[in-house]
Structure 1
Amino acid sequence: MRVFPCGRTGSRLLLVAALALLAVPAARLSPAAAQPAPAAQPSAAQMDLARKLVVVNGEARAFDGIIPNIVESAERTFVQTNPDLVKQLREVAIVVVLDFNKRKGEVIDILAGAYARRFSEAELKEAIAFYSSATGTRLVLERPVIVQDAVQGIQAWGAQLNQLALEGIRAEMKKRGVEL
């Protein structure tokens, strides 16, 4: 039984976040649209806009479970060496999560900083406008299903490719007189 209601593991969470970042409109990533990167230190206005962007584009929510996952992992470390303290460790972990949840803004700032260092104020405003539009809102709402569909498709593709690789290696080794 999990202590926290978060159903994602840390690695899956990172995969989801990475795939979510791929949903940025393609026009923003095209060489024709590329502009010189803003200064290494973004302005306060850029950071404010970038914070708004990561909320409106849904990326901030992608990290909702990160604090409970980190604390749960730390708890498991202690449970492994102190199984007799499992009940107390769970109780303490819940308290720690409540305290650490105050730090969620730090994750948003990290995400926002990544955007603010790469996009101008005008570009951030355009991205916010897009994600605030009907299409952008739908993209945010559909993203979890799209990512799940893509992950399942990639897993099936990988399994098929693995099978073909096994067959290819067997065939090449057979040519060399080795049966696998």
Structure 2
Amino acid sequence: MPHFSSGRLGPRLLLAAALPFLAATLAAAPAALAQQAAPAAGKPTAAQLQLARDLVMVNGEARAFDGVIPNIVDGAALSFVQTNPDLARQLRDVAILVRPEFEKRQSEVIDILASAYASRFSEAELKEAIAFYRSSTGIKLVQDRPVIVQEAVQGIQAWGAQMNALAVERVRAEMKKRGADL
């Protein structure tokens, strides 16, 4: 069950939403997906939208948003805690009560993802992508994606910290040349 513990939801939600796309960028993809697809002419067809829905299900992106709605509802309730701390328990209870009402709308996230794919890929390209994700390599990519993303994020965080330390030292050295000891 999602937790009701933090008043700052935004950065965690954005990171959770971005991770599947970071993983897709970092992971090897079939040549058909690596090439930039030309935008589909006009509005996507019903067949393209259905294939795109199938794609976001099979490639694991839909699951990446499983906790979004409870987090949104909890965040909405938590937004009242700062000005009404004595209502924290009641707000938690209300959030739990109204979650099912909003969870019914989870398919809208899949539709948004599907529309993005359907507007960029033809039916043939979507079928190729689905075939890839149903292959042993595609299945492995989906299964290993969380570990890949975790390793990549940790590596990027360590790299960023290292770059920051180097930049601080470099700025400090330049400022020292100008007579300012930082």
Q: 1:131 to 1:26 in 2, by over 3 A?
A: closer
Per-residue CA deviation, residues 51-83 of structure 1 (Å, 9 max, x unaligned), is 000000000001011101111110101222222
Question: What is the match of residue 31 of structure 2?
Answer: 27
The match for 1:102 is 104
Give identity over the alignment, percent: 62
Q: Secondary structure at the match of 2:158?
A: helix
Counterpart of 2:3? 2
Higher percent of residues as helix: 1
Per the alignment, residue 17 of structure 1 pairs with 20
Aligned residues: 175
TM-score, normalised to structure 2, is 0.88
Partner of 1:129: 131
SS at match of 1:103: coil
Task: Find the residue that maps to 2:41 and give its secondary structure.
Answer: coil
Alignment RMSD (CA, Å): 2.0
Shift of 1:35: 4.6
> 1:37 aligns to what SS in structure 2?
coil
Listed as ranges, the matches of 1:88-167 within 5 Å are: 88-167=90-169
Q: CA deviation at 1:107?
A: 0.2
Conserved 8 A contact 2:23-2:148: no
Would the aligned equivalents of 2:32 and 2:128 in 1 still touch at CA under 8 Å? no
After superposition, the C-alpha distances for 1:11-39 in whole angstroms (9 at most, x for unaligned) are 22123133134247262455xx4453102
Provide structure 2 residue ranges, at least 5 long, that are not aligned to the other structure.
6-10
1:84 aligns with 2:71: no
Q: Which secondary structure state, in structure 1, belongs to the residue aligned with residue 82 of structure 2?
A: helix
